[in-house]
Amino acid sequence: MEQIFITDVSPRDGLQNQAVQVSTVAKVHLIRLLFQAGVASVEATSFVSPKAVPQMADATELLRQLNIAFPTLRRSVLVPNLKGLERAYNAGAKEIAVVLAATQTMNQKNINMSLDAAVNASEETLRAAREQGMRTRAYIAVAFDCPFEGVPPLNRILTLARKMFDAGANEIVIADTIGAASPADVKERLTALANVIPLTQLAAHFHDTRGMAVANAWAALEVGVRRFDASAGGIGGCPFAPGAAGNLATEDLVLMAERSGFATGINLERLLDAVDFAEIELKRPLGGRSSTWLRRQREKKIASVSGANVLSSSPAYVDSQPNR
C-alpha cells in the first residue's frame, strides 16, 4: 500500500489563532495523543515574536519538553527570521519551517517585511539552518489566493518555490492559507510546481474555508503529491490573513486517503482522542467533516456487546505502522 506522510500542524497553525490561551502542559498532552494515534510528524510551535502571537510564547519550554518526551517524533517549528532560528536552535530544534508569502502585502502583515526582504530572510534562515544540520521546510503562503492582492501569478509561485528549494529547503509546502483553492487550481499549480521541484519534496497545506480541502487533497494526490499538512479537529487559521478558517482536518484526510487505498499510519479512533481533548481545552465543538460519522462508529463500538468488529471492519480503522 502506498504511504502518504502527514504533518499534523494543530499545535502551531491550529493553536496560534485561538482565543483561549492553552497551557504548555495541555500542548504536550495534545501532542502525546497525536503521537499515540500514529502521527509521526507535528508542527509543534513557532519561534516568533510573543507580541505578535502570544499563544506561542512558551515555544522554548514546549520544545524542551517534547525533545525529552518524544525523541522519535518529528517536531518542526516555524521560524520567521534568524532570531527565531537562534531561539529554536538553543531549544534543541532539529527541524524548522520558514514562512514566505507570495505577495507583498501578506508578507508585510505577517512578518513586517516586503516580498524581497522576506525572500532574503527565508533564504538566509534556510542556509543557516542547513549549516546547523537541521531539516528544513519552506511554506509558500497564499499560493492560491491572497486576501489582500488576489490570485498571485503562477510564475511567481514557481520562482519563489524554486528559490526556497535552491536555498536548501527539504520540503516546499504549498499553502492555501485562506482556503480559496479549487481542485482544478490545485491540479494546475501543483502540476506546474512538479516540473521545478521533485514531487517527493513537495507538500500541500489546505484550509477548509469553502469546504473544498478534502477535494483539494485528492487533487494533490492525483498529481502525485504524497506529503500533506493537516490539523486534528480542523483547528487552525492565520491571525494575519482575514477570512482564513480551519485547516484540512487530519481525520478527514486520513479517512479519505485510507478509503482510497493509501496508508497513513494514523489510527482514527485514537486520533479522535486528540480531537476530544482539543475540544475540551478550546471549550468549543471541533472536528472535521467526517467527525460526526467517526464518533458514531466509536459509539457503536462501545455500545455493542458482540460488535467489536464494527470499527475494525472499516479499512480506515486498521492499525498500520506509523510513517516515521
Catalytic residues: 238
Among 115, 119, 238, 268, binds ligand COA (CB under 6 A): 238
Select from 34, 77, 96, 99 the one that contacts ligand COA (CB under 6 A). Answer: 99
User: Is 205 exposed, middle or buried, given 0-12, 13-18 or 19+ CB atoms closer than 10 A?
Assistant: buried
Nearer to ligand COA, 96 or 99 (CB): 99
Contact call for residue 8 and Zn ion (CB under 5 A): no
Q: Is 258 in the site for Zn ion (CB under 5 A)?
A: no
Q: What's the closest the beta carbon of residue 83 comes to ligand COA, in angstroms?
A: 4
Mark residues 50-79: x for contact with ligand COA by CB under 6 A, - for none: --xx------------------------x-
Chosen residue from 165, 206, 218, 240 binding ligand COA by CB under 6 A = 240
Binding-site size for ligand COA (CB under 6 A) equals 19
Q: Which grid coordinates are listed for 271?
A: 486520533
Decide if residue 111 touches ligand COA (CB under 6 A).
yes
Q: Burial code of 36-59, b = ≥16 C-beta within 10 A, e = fewer?
A: ebbbbbbbbbbbbbeeebebbbbb
Side chain identity at residue 191, one-letter code: T
Nearest alpha-carbon partner for 99 in 171, 166, 31:
171
Taking CB atoms, the residue at the shortest distance from ligand COA is 84
Q: What are phi and psi of 185, to 5 degrees?
A: -60, -45
Evaluated on CA atoms 154, 155, 160, 164, the torsion sign reads positive
Dihedral, CA of residue 65, residue 12, residue 31 and residue 316, to nearest 10: -160
SS3 per-residue string spanning 156-177? HHHHHHHHHHHCCCCEEEEEEC
Distance CA 193, CA 71 (A): 33
Which of 124/188 has CB closer to ligand COA?
124
Cα atoms in the 13 Å half-sphere on the side-chain side of 220: 30
Using the rule CB under 6 A, is 110 a contact of ligand COA?
yes
Nearer to Zn ion, 197 or 241 (CB): 241
**Residue 277 CA, distance from chain mean position:** 19
> Any contact of residue 119 with ligand COA (CB under 6 A)?
no
Q: Is 194 a binder of ligand COA (CB under 6 A)?
A: no
Closest to ligand COA by CB, 41 vs 177, is 177
Residues near Zn ion, by CB under 5 A: 13
Name the residues that contact ligand COA, by CB under 6 A. Answer: 16, 46-49, 52-53, 78, 80-81, 83-84, 87, 99, 110-112, 238, 240
